[in-house]
Amino acid sequence: MGVFTYENQVTSPVPPSRFFKAFVLDSDHLLPKILKHGIKEVNVEILEGNGGPGTIKKITFHEGYHLKFLKHRTDGLDKENFTYNYSVVEGGPLSETLEKVSYETKLVASPDGGTIYKISSKYYTKDNTEIKEEQIKAEEEKTAGVFKAVEGYLLANPDAYN
């Protein structure tokens, strides 16, 4: 198995505590509501666990989205330090070449009171297969797009997630 790491960060004027509540703690409810993009329906189902480490969720996309589903496992969650680690273990960006994709995320306060979202993604390939940098960048752009969608919602709804 080969491992390819990609690191990125995105900034927002929204404070980390508010962003974490929306983006991590209430994502099962918020993301299906704000990520329509031509998607008729998104369903989130907890298959195992209670939301903490070890929890496995199945996210199903209906009509109009390029993915049918993905299974997402929570690997770590620290509410005080705004860190969240998870892995996509089935479906989603995985293909014949990828075994899993793991994400280590941290929301830190920026000097202006906003958030710096730091993410380290590890792409685990099957049989030491090479993965194209364009494929990684495309997946990372989708993640940044979700972050910006949450930011847009929070800016438009200043009383949400306080």
Q: Extract the tokens encoding 148.
A: 């910006």
Q: Which two tokens stand for residue 18?
A: 């508010």
pLDDT for 128: 74
Q: What is the CATH number of the domain that holds 138?
A: 3.30.530.20
Residue 96 three-state SS: coil
Is residue 162 in a domain? no
What pLDDT, on a 0 to 100 scale, did the predictor assign at position 16?
Answer: 97
- In total, how many domains does the chain have? 1
- The answer to the question of residue 31 being in a domain is yes
Residue 150 lies in a domain: yes
107 assigned to some structural domain:
yes
pLDDT of amino acid 64? 62
Whether 28 maps to a domain, the answer reads yes
Q: Do 62 and 40 meet the contact criterion of CB atoms below 8 Å apart?
A: yes
- Is 141 a member of any domain? yes
Q: Dump pLDDT digits (tens) for 3-52.
A: 888 898 999 999 999 999 999 999 888 887 887 654 556 778 899 999 89
Model pTM?
0.85
66 assigned to some structural domain: yes
Q: Provide the pLDDT for residue 4.
A: 85
| pLDDT, tens digit, 9 for 90 and up, residues 87-104 | 999 987 777 788 899 999
Place of tokens 């299974």: 71
- Give the number of other CB atoms < 10 A from CB of residue 117: 26
Q: What is the token pair recorded at 63?
A: 């009509």
Q: What is the pLDDT of residue 70?
A: 87
Flag whether pLDDT at 85 surpasses 80.
yes
The boundaries of the domain holding residue 11 are: 2-156
Q: Phi first, then psi: what are they for 107, rounded to 5°?
A: -105, 120
User: What confidence tens digit (pLDDT) does each residue in 94-145 have?
Assistant: 777 888 999 999 999 999 999 999 999 998 888 877 788 887 788 778 778 8
The pLDDT score that the predictor gives to residue 63 is 65
**Domain assignment of residue 161, yes or no:** no
By the 8 A CB rule, do 7 and 120 touch? yes
